[in-house]
Structure 1
Amino acid sequence: MNHQDIPPKPASPPRTGSLPKIHSGTGSAPAPESVTWSQPRHDPAPEKHTNRKPALWKAFLVVVILAVAGSLVWLAVWLNSSPGTDAAKNDAQGVLQTTVTPPATPQPLPREGVAPPAYALGDCFKDFDPQALTSTLVPCDTGHSAQLVATLTYPESAKYPGAEPLKAKALEVCQAAKLGPAAKNFQLNYQRSFPSSTSWESGDRRVDCYVTADTGDVINASVLP
């Protein structure tokens, strides 16, 4: 072999510029400690973070609203439990009377032509008709067919509750009536009377409860204690 045909081995390896040197073979090349790129590196655009300030303000506003609502509820409860509230509530519902004080319509009796606004608790009525414009009052130890045993009077400033509420209130008044031992000697029924819208406008504020006998003037004693 003519060694002159082989070009001489260079004294130093060829220059590869700025590229990293890669070794041949099956093994992978070691990673360079650093690489300088010829073009400036562009970082990806930063992620856009959601602005949380509006959400924080909304949460703060909800907390404030809840706190105010809680304060109002507490104030309402406190006012309802404050002294004098029960009395005002009772005034709005009316004043119940089941005891004859002062006494019923005084003597002399009988008295004819007595209008309902003049009826007094304990009065006894002959030939009683709840729809009549006037009645005849008699002593309770004489024959009569009805007696006024309980009343409830609304204040003048009260608004008309309506027929059904007044009817229910009249039932409560009759249930609150207190009867004496004499009531067991007669066949009695409860009968209710309450203002109409027209009579309410004219000043009628009273709900009445009577005990009545369907068989006529057969009661000869007061049925109140």
Structure 2
Amino acid sequence: MEPTREPESSPYQPPIPAETQTRRPSRVWLLVGIVAVVLLVVYAVFRLGSSGEAPPEAGDDVVRDSDPGIDGIIAADAPASSFVVGDCLTSFTSPLEPATIVECETPHTAQFIGTADLDPDIPYPGKPDTTEKAAEACKQIKLDTDVLTSQRWEYQFSQPTGGSWEAGDRSVDCFLAVTSPDETATGTLLPAESAEETES
């Protein structure tokens, strides 16, 4: 009987169950992964910064659509500095906040009805007095009573601050806004001759 020999060790190893398999990633691959993530972030930032879309325009540079479509939108989310007398507005929250300028025959919630100047010779009257004088000045603007009586309105206006008053600012921008957030108006509050003066 031949003696039994131990089998020679085989280069083959049985598979390790999946839950116990562990592999250490090569440092090179780890470094490649980090570089790839950094490059993706840089690419995304570059694409967002140069997507071809013009940044929102401010002030007098706002683009006004001279031929609005059926929605009547002349300029969406226009800054307050771009409003001109006669503009009818939707999404109006205050004379200092952006709003969408629309044709006045389109339902809207406010209109920029005009500007007024306070007495240049008086000292800065302080906020309550300035507000009262600004309201009085805005109420002197002539309006179309037919449109005025079709809704309930409230005056809103921007007025000089103490600092701008010292610099010579006496201007008040006057707006009328519908009082109910659920209502809109159509038509301009300005009489025909005022509208013609605004357009010329």
Q: TM-score, normalised by structure 1?
A: 0.44
Structure number with greater Rg is 1
